[in-house]
Structure 1
Amino acid sequence: MAAIAVGCGLSVLACGVAAGPAFAQSVAIEDEIAPATVDPVPEEPVPPGEVGIDDDDVLEDITVTATRTAEPVDHALSGTSVLDRSTIQTQTQPNRPSDFLDLIPGVTTSEQGGDPATAINIRGLQDFGRVNVMVDGARQNFQTSGHNANGAFYIDPEMIRSVDVTRGATATVYGSGAIGGVVDFRTLTADDVLSADQVVGGFVKAKYSTNGAEPLGHAEFAGRIGQAFDVVTAGTWSRSTDYRDGHYNRIENSWDDLLSGLAKARYRPTEDQQITASALLYRANFDKGTTTVRSTDATTETYSLGHTWAPLDNPLVDLRSNLYYTTTRTDQTEVAGNNVGSKRSFDVATTGFDVNNTSRFATGQIGHALTYGVDGFFDRVDNTDDQNNSNKYTPNGRRSVYGGFVQDQATWEWLEVISAVRLDGYELTGGNVDNSGGRASPKLTVGVTPVPWITVFGTYAEAYRAPAITETLINGIHPGVEFEFRPNPNLKPEVAHEFEGGVNLRFDDVLRDGDRVRVKAVAYYNQVDDYIDLKSVQIDPPPPPPTPGYYYQYQNVAKAVLWGGELEAVYDVGFAFAGLSGQIVRGVDQNTGEELASVPPDRLIATLGGRAFDARLVAGTRVSMVAGKNGSPSGWPESPGYTTVDLFASYQVTERISANLNLDNIFNRQYTQYLDLSASPGFNARLAVGIKL
């Protein structure tokens, strides 16, 4: 498989080609269909919970995270992918976000056992905010130290309306630190529940998974008063048991109980204004660990208040603001190990804001979309531990990060130029440390469309990431093998310098009338100066035994270099569709020449499917081929390559009743995804039935 992927020279995506028949999002903007959303737009039938999307919401759905401006994804001058709800639910019926995020090229996730938290890796970069994960514009900055990723988030897939992913350091307008990319989740609105003529309505769903014996119940209810006000509430309950891998071995402590809820209200005081208030709650119970096992209660609360104002008669004003608060807390009690009954908690809270405006005007024959704004967030970490250890490995502290930007998206006939600069600053305090810093990061993108079917683009962008609280302040003795973790108050921020080039291809009526081909090929080279990594440092002179002659400390690597390629390509002819998805990522520590442990393996995904009965039935298969990885110098074990085959089908039984069947890993292949701590599930069947009320 690796030879195939390398031979291609780039990786390919069709993660959304098999979405269900409802792509009402496609009605407002011609050719906005992304590689992740390529179904035609039949008038009927429309699945439950997928209707009532008006033109305003269309623009929101396809906002490209690299620029903040609404534009077709297959025209976007960046490595950007969009998955909508229909795609996510039809293809994967996800239990966790990784079920659909891993379909996107350049994106790899990692998880551990029963902990339903997800960590995201983009182009070999992860941890400590290198990937900016947002839910309704609210940053998810939760992190704990351990044998896991240093940065993860909790979200119920049933609450997701869409997800936009921008790969690389090009999204300077979406806050500080995102040297790897941006993942922007958006939760349900009333338009996802109500059809255009409904005042009150709902949607309920029941799902059952065989591997892990997971029953799930989900309900949504919404109402609107004219065009001025609407509200939506949703809730999910699920309970799983330990799953089994491809060898039928039970993976201990892989169960979890989930309860989540969403409440969102929108008020339009005038035709051109909208105020949105939302509250999202996620709570899960599970056991975490192997030798030392801790009963864990994880809770995430996200609150946001947003305002948009776009006067129809004033193109200079398209003002958007958002104020948010997110807190994630895990409370743990040791139930197996050396200190049974001891308790500890991790509590990370983030308060933030984001205000930006886009002014549209022309200078001669050149059109401009000038976007400018300010943003910032404040992290507070407060941890407790009966054994007085966890608050050393994940130390308490405070960090403020703030910035502003200006971006001009200039268009003239076949030429588009995006120029931007971002100013970042930060302050970090804790213990005896009081650090601060700042920097300006430029960006320049040039896109050329000589003929309507091709756009060629190139970008140079810089991005700035301030050191995290843990990287700076970690201080303690590792249990078992008692080596030291030492703080490093002299850490410098990371600075990414990324070159990205790509091409978008758009062909219609290729083999027959009505068919479409969409291709996005991207290659990149990212040089990260002062890259922060955990390093083993020899003590000179060495201490007498049994004290280890080394300690660990986060240090600035002089330079880390990552490079690779992606290619998103789909073919759709209405009654059938096909596509590929994949990635090639490479990355080294230039000090040592060793590969970075965070670099994921090559991956290639092929999707083939069809539609029947006026697109009421959508069915297909997905083959995922993942290359092997050698063990890394930092201790990650060798990861053999593997191939899995999945089947999926959705059927619109009646106007109100829909059914989905997903068969994952149908050959029960034994494998462990790279950077995961537990073997992945063997064969799993998932059946879901939804009813529109």
Structure 2
Amino acid sequence: MKSLSYSFCFLSSAKFSRFGLAPFRLLLTVSFLAVPVFCASATDAQGADSEGVDAEGANNASSNDISAKEVERYTVTAERAYYNQTLNSIFPQYTYDKSNLVGSPHINDILLQSPSVNLNGQGGQIQNINIRGFSRWRIQTLLDGVPIVSDRRAGASVGFVPPSFIQGVAVIPGAASTYLGSGAIGGAVDLLLPYNTKSNLQIGWSSNQQAQDYSYADYAGNTDWNLSYRKGNNGSDAQGNTLFDKFEQTALFLRHRPDNGVLKEAWTLYSDNRDIGKSSSDFPEDRVTTYPENTHWLGKMTFAFSNIFSSLWWHQSTLDTHILRPEDRINESESEALDFGFDVGSNARINNWQVNWQVQLLGREGVTIDERELTLVSSASGSLVGESLLNETLSSTGSSFISELAYELRTLDASETTIAGIADATRSFGDTSLAFGGRLDWQQQSNNAVDIENANISGFIGASHILSPQWTASVYLSSAFRNPSLTERYFSGETPRGTVLGDVDLDTEQATNIQASLSYNSNGLTASVEVFRQKINHYIERTTVSEDVQVYSNLDSATIQGISYQLDWQQSQAANRSQNNTPDQGYWFAQLNGAWIEGEDNIGSAIADIPPHSQRLTLGYELEDVRLFSTLVYRASKRDIGDGEKELDNVTTLDIGAAWQFNQRTSLQASWRNLTNQQYYVSADDKAAFAQGESVQLALTFLL
């Protein structure tokens, strides 16, 4: 258990001194609210030992109705957001689990099971995603409803959350500004937390990075917790070239659910990430980008007063960046931000309409980025510091070198406040369901010189109709908006891509979205196909104006459209038993999905971040305590590229895996990823590195 003792060491070394006073005021407030309830509700774990429900299904009508196993019973169904019921009444909602993944190095691996999700940007632990060609600040990432916001242009990454902390993910493709505000013009993903009811230890290993993964979960009464320690060295691509994707991560999750009182749930998560390499094609000759430290402290408290529901959340984050340009200079930056929010809402039944309303207050305070540049000067031997410094940088981010301070300045110092009101209504008319809703949103963004206010209205209307017991058709029309981020408005400084300049006069993006779907559901088979089209006016793009200088500007408009599908099938176990007269007959299962997406601006030029067409097939077989699975992914070539992109060739990858439950308390999983050792870029980003080559993963789970 050496790794578990290590998990506590971050508490003494966390950079709380950088957080300022605001987080401590918030901590005191939360403490005064939570401590009395925590103390009053220390009870026996009544019902904590009851059997959980295995919630790891491919969608809401899970096609993998696998018999429960003792080793899997430390999770139950995760609670979904209040708006899920409304959206589910008009088009299918999907969640994705880890049942066909082994020792996942990143939560993105879970998300990629959705046909709407693709990798975006450069590689490594802070790799980002896009949804239907929307990425960066256009998609909202949430952890149990807590927004994860980043001031990096690449957008928010969920790499700071250990996969062992997550039960599954929910994907909301399409404009979702009505519920989630400015950051969800292109959709959202929500990471779903499990509820641990049994002590368990998970150990994982990966051959490519020699990665280690340790996770320990336990509970006492109504309180549960999870500790995780993960570390990976630099990996390699299919040709054996080094990828700069090392990382080290320590995290703690703690949650309490009182039996009585207005406080229904309180949880907090702290994640300390160190020595993170940015896997880029610039490595190692042109640029070596390291994130020496990336910390996250977030939490949420949920309350219920009769029929009034409320929540309070916060997210404090810091990110240090170290950029080495060999034989030239070093740029360092320190960024931090405190995001927080409060909401209150309720629901009622009015003349056969189910009505929901909510008021939201969101804020971002202390959003700062401090930068300094160090010029590499001649060493005692008279030569510029170059190769030796590079080698030191690869071995330690705290390397010593001969340098002179060129400048030091604050490149961003801003804040943001948002107030919004939301309402929706749902009703069924026989075989037809109708839903509509709207949002009134006011936002103020400020820095030391300029205050900017934005007022926006967004809404949606949708309907679904049951065509037959198996077939359902739906249509969904929505409007959405995205205010420029604080970085796009106010930032002016150095990044791993060069100098980037913001523009305070940027216009708000406005979008209209329409999508239609046809779904099928019968015994053992669910399927759906969706067509969508979204037009965005005042589309904000970062363009290159000279070598190593880029600016943010509004395009006239851009259009993204496409089609996606997914199918889940499971062989009927009942049929197998009756035909073979055996109680333990195995069964086959399969998942097939894909998408074709295209996007262009008003003059017909390709816009960035549109993913290549892709298809994904998962095929497996389960017999008693053994589960076998394989995943085949085809990614088409990409020739229509936007600014900052490169062409891609088509590629087909194959993963295989197996899970074996030794007994009621122990299970083993193994997989072989990129079995055919394909060499391909992770995305069309012109700085993207190659993907990892073949890799073997092992994972052990013990109930304690």
Which TM-score band applies after superposition, normalised by the shorter structure? 0.7 to 0.9
Matches within 5 A, 1:82-121: 82-83=95-96, 87-110=97-120, 112-113=122-123, 115-121=124-130
The 3-state SS of whatever aligns with 1:69 is: helix
After alignment, is 372-381 or 396-405 more displaced? 372-381
Matches within 5 A, 1:556-595: 556-573=554-571, 574=573, 575-590=587-602, 592-595=603-606
- Of 686, 696, 702, which residue of structure 2 is paired with 1:691? 702
Distance 2:497 2:55 in 1: 57
The 3-state SS of whatever aligns with 2:125 is: strand
In structure 2, what residue type is equivalent to 1:682?
A: G
In the TM superposition, residue 370 of structure 1 has moved relative to its aligned partner by 3.0
Q: Match of 2:70?
A: 46
In the TM superposition, residue 261 of structure 1 has moved relative to its aligned partner by 1.4
In structure 1, what residue type is equivalent to 2:466?
A: T
In the TM superposition, residue 552 of structure 1 has moved relative to its aligned partner by 3.9
Q: Match of 1:520?
A: 528
In the TM superposition, residue 473 of structure 1 has moved relative to its aligned partner by 1.9
The 1:437/1:391 distance shift into structure 2, 3 A limit, reads farther
- Of 478, 483, 507, which residue of structure 2 is paired with 1:492? 507
The 3-state SS of whatever aligns with 2:84 is: coil
CA contact (8 A) 1:503 1:521 kept: yes
Q: Deviations over 1:36-90 (max 9, x none)?
A: 8421142x42324x3463xxxx4x54x367x33288xxx653363212xxx3154
In structure 1, what residue type is equivalent to 2:369?
A: N
Distance 1:185 1:26 in 2: 13
- Of 676, 682, 686, which residue of structure 1 is paired with 2:693? 682
In the TM superposition, residue 643 of structure 1 has moved relative to its aligned partner by 0.2
In structure 2, what residue type is equivalent to 1:565?
A: I
- Of 269, 289, 292, which residue of structure 1 is paired with 2:287? 292
TM-score, L = length of structure 2: 0.79
Distance 2:314 2:612 in 1: 35
Distance 2:611 2:497 in 1: 29
CA contact (8 A) 2:411 2:493 kept: no
In structure 1, what residue type is equivalent to 2:370?
A: T
The 3-state SS of whatever aligns with 2:488 is: helix
Matches within 5 A, 1:327-338: 327-333=316-322, 337-338=326-327
CA contact (8 A) 2:251 2:269 kept: no
The 1:474/1:445 distance shift into structure 2, 3 A limit, reads same
Q: Match of 2:5?
A: none
> 2:270 matched to 1:280?
yes
The 3-state SS of whatever aligns with 1:24 is: coil
TM-score, L = length of structure 1: 0.80
> 2:59 matched to 1:34?
yes
CA contact (8 A) 2:304 2:310 kept: no
The 3-state SS of whatever aligns with 2:164 is: helix
Distance 1:33 1:553 in 2: 41
Percent identity, aligned pairs only, is: 18
CA contact (8 A) 1:175 1:376 kept: no
Q: Match of 1:314?
A: none
The 1:656/1:261 distance shift into structure 2, 3 A limit, reads same
Distance 1:391 1:557 in 2: 33
- Of 230, 250, 262, which residue of structure 1 is paired with 2:242? 250
- Of 217, 220, 224, which residue of structure 1 is paired with 2:217? 220
Q: Match of 1:543?
A: none
Matches within 5 A, 1:254-265: 254-265=245-256
Q: Deviations over 1:550-607 (max 9, x none)?
A: 96431221111000111121111141111212111111111x3111111011110011
Q: Match of 2:449?
A: 432
In the TM superposition, residue 169 of structure 1 has moved relative to its aligned partner by 0.4
In the TM superposition, residue 144 of structure 1 has moved relative to its aligned partner by 2.5
The 3-state SS of whatever aligns with 2:663 is: coil
In the TM superposition, residue 494 of structure 1 has moved relative to its aligned partner by 0.8
CA contact (8 A) 1:176 1:401 kept: no
The 3-state SS of whatever aligns with 2:93 is: strand
In structure 1, what residue type is equivalent to 2:596?
A: I
In structure 1, what residue type is equivalent to 2:265?
A: I
Q: Match of 2:339?
A: 350
- Of 291, 300, 303, which residue of structure 1 is paired with 2:298? 303
- Of 138, 154, 157, which residue of structure 2 is paired with 1:152? 157
Matches within 5 A, 1:501-520: 501-508=516-523, 516-520=524-528
Aligned-pair RMSD on alpha carbons? 2.9
The 1:461/1:335 distance shift into structure 2, 3 A limit, reads closer
> 2:475 matched to 1:458?
yes
Q: Match of 2:42?
A: none
CA contact (8 A) 1:78 1:166 kept: no
In the TM superposition, residue 490 of structure 1 has moved relative to its aligned partner by 1.4
CA contact (8 A) 1:576 1:610 kept: yes
Q: Deviations over 1:434-459 (max 9, x none)?
A: 21111111210011114332221111
CA contact (8 A) 1:265 1:278 kept: no
Matches within 5 A, 1:392-407: 395-407=412-424
CA contact (8 A) 1:461 1:498 kept: yes
Distance 2:650 2:52 in 1: 35
The 3-state SS of whatever aligns with 1:112 is: coil
Distance 2:701 2:116 in 1: 32
Distance 2:702 2:407 in 1: 46
Distance 2:646 2:410 in 1: 23
* Ranges in structure 1 where 5+ consecutive residues have no aligned partner: 1-21, 195-201, 225-229, 312-316, 509-515, 538-547
- Of 581, 596, 599, which residue of structure 1 is paired with 2:610? 599
In structure 2, what residue type is equivalent to 1:527?
A: K
* Ranges in structure 2 where 5+ consecutive residues have no aligned partner: 1-50, 375-405, 574-586
Distance 1:33 1:479 in 2: 38
In structure 1, what residue type is equivalent to 2:699?
A: A
Q: Deviations over 1:7-49 (max 9, x none)?
A: xxxxxxxxxxxxxxx992569xxxx97278421142x42324x
Q: Match of 2:364?
A: 378
Q: Match of 1:186?
A: 192
Q: Deviations over 1:467-490 (max 9, x none)?
A: 111111233578998xx7543221
> 2:206 matched to 1:209?
yes
Distance 2:142 2:174 in 1: 16
Q: Deviations over 1:92-121 (max 9, x none)?
A: 4310112121111111123635x4113221
Q: Match of 2:226?
A: 234
The 3-state SS of whatever aligns with 1:263 is: strand
The 1:561/1:36 distance shift into structure 2, 3 A limit, reads farther
The 3-state SS of whatever aligns with 2:489 is: helix
In the TM superposition, residue 220 of structure 1 has moved relative to its aligned partner by 0.8
**Aligned pairs, number:** 601
Distance 2:122 2:554 in 1: 28
In structure 2, what residue type is equivalent to 1:82?
A: T
In the TM superposition, residue 393 of structure 1 has moved relative to its aligned partner by 10
In the TM superposition, residue 630 of structure 1 has moved relative to its aligned partner by 1.9
The 1:273/1:254 distance shift into structure 2, 3 A limit, reads closer
In structure 2, what residue type is equivalent to 1:306?
A: M
In the TM superposition, residue 335 of structure 1 has moved relative to its aligned partner by 6.2
In structure 2, what residue type is equivalent to 1:38?
A: S
After alignment, is 280-289 or 651-660 more displaced? 280-289
Distance 1:298 1:629 in 2: 35
The 3-state SS of whatever aligns with 1:525 is: strand
Q: Match of 2:311?
A: 322
In the TM superposition, residue 358 of structure 1 has moved relative to its aligned partner by 2.4
Matches within 5 A, 1:153-172: 153=158, 154-170=160-176, 172=178
The 3-state SS of whatever aligns with 2:183 is: coil
Distance 1:664 1:617 in 2: 19
